[in-house]
């Protein structure tokens, strides 16, 4: 698994860096794992289906998956491959990335796209005028591929008017016949888009699903262990932590459910403890300490201390009511 981090390749050199630089390496660590490679390839095909050919147009596509599986990171990474350039008629933005705000309506959707296009706007311009201006700017800036991240915020079935407006705006963009659109979000995003016959008719909704690793799948288990080992190889410690071994990788899988974003955050927490102790590597007790402050309230099981055969089921991990304490009878207690 490759990466593109501009950090010292020698383990000893990385371990000798300042605490701040070592912390930054771990926080920003990037490994081109298989999920990322597959997703970036899919996005590229949504944009340009023929290698060396022309950008496609008029097709709605989607990248979907559970939270923290790497959708946003992948989309931003792809967009950065196409920096803005100067054209004869002004700035050219071949690929534009923008994310939808929470509780997004038509106005907010248009404003987000305008901001991504660096197009100035004000509240004096009504929503209809802003939508029209955004459509003109998309054409003017020769946008080939528009990425709308967190699109489930615009496609909320409980807000029927917003849903209708978002569908209408998408159709107007696709009707420009000069670009493709990728709507990214949770799995239900695909389901909501697929339920709209007029939108699905724009290319039958090509999609790519980003999903977590499954430990019970031999191929996925091997890939998850490879990911853990690849992260281990890039850590700024004097020795390898053996994260890719079956014993450790299975425990890491248990606390992260195979979700890449959660794995990175958990390993960051354990690595910080190892750095504070000036340890040569991430030892088991650092992982145990990191889980102790993250496990559900009331749970006693720790996979880095206890045997995995004693692990509670997912149903048993639901949060119980917090225990009563001495403050319960104070002014904040319920009567």
Predicted confidence (pLDDT) per residue in 67-97, tens digit: 888 999 999 999 999 999 998 888 999 999 9
How much of the chain exceeds pLDDT 90, in percent? 69
34-210, what's its fold? Rossmann fold (3.40.50)
- The mean per-residue pLDDT over the stretch 12-28 comes to 94
Angle (nearest 5°) at CA 243 between 275 and 23:
30
pLDDT tens-digit map of 258-298: 999 999 999 999 999 999 999 999 999 999 999 999 999 88
pLDDT at 157: 64
Each domain of the chain, given as residue ranges in start order, spans: 11-30+214-311, 34-210
Q: What is the reported pTM?
A: 0.84
Q: Between these two residues, 335 and 208, which has the higher pLDDT value?
A: 208
Task: Please determine, for residue 39, whether its predicted confidence score (pLDDT) is greater than 90.
Answer: yes
- Per-residue pLDDT, 144: 98
Question: Is a pLDDT exceeding 70 seen at residue 328?
Answer: no
Average pLDDT of the residues of the chain: 89
- Read off the pLDDT band of 330 (50, 70, 90): very low
């Amino acid at each position: 698994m490759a990466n593109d981090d501009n950090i010292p390749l020698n383990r000893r050199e990385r371990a000798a860096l300042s605490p701040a630089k070592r912390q930054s390496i771990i926080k920003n660590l990037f490994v081109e794992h298989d999920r990322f490679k597959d997703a970036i390839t899919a996005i590229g095909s949504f944009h340009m289906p023929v290698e060396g050919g022309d950008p496609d147009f008029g097709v709605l596509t989607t990248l979907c998956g559970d939270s923290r599986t790497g959708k946003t990171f992948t989309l931003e990474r792809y967009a950065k491959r196409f920096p803005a350039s100067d054209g004869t008629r002004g700035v050219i933005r071949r690929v534009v990335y923008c994310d939808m705000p929470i509780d997004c309506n038509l106005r907010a959707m248009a404003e987000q796209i305008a901001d991504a296009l660096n197009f100035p706007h004000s509240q004096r311009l009504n929503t209809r005028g802003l939508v029209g201006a955004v459509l003109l700017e998309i054409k003017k800036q020769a946008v080939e591929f528009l990425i709308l991240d967190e699109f489930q915020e615009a496609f909320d079935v409980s807000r029927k008017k917003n849903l209708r407006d978002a569908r209408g705006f998408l159709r107007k963009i696709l009707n420009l016949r000069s670009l493709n659109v990728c709507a990214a979000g949770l799995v239900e995003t695909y389901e909501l888009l697929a339920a709209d016959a007029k939108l699905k008719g724009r290319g039958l909704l090509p999609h790519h699903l980003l999903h977590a690793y499954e430990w019970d799948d031999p191929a996925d288990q091997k890939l998850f262990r490879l990911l853990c080992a690849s992260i281990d190889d890039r850590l700024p410690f004097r020795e390898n932590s053996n994260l890719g071994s079956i014993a450790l990788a299975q425990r890491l899988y248990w606390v992260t459910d195979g979700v890449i974003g959660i794995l990175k955050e958990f390993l960051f927490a354990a690595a910080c403890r190892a750095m504070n102790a000036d340890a040569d590597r991430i030892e088991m007790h650092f992982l145990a300490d990191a889980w102790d402050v993250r496990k559900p309230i009331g749970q006693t099981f720790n996979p880095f201390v206890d045997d995995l055969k004693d692990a509670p089921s997912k149903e048993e991990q639901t949060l119980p009511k917090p225990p009563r304490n001495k403050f319960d009878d104070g002014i904040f207690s319920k009567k």
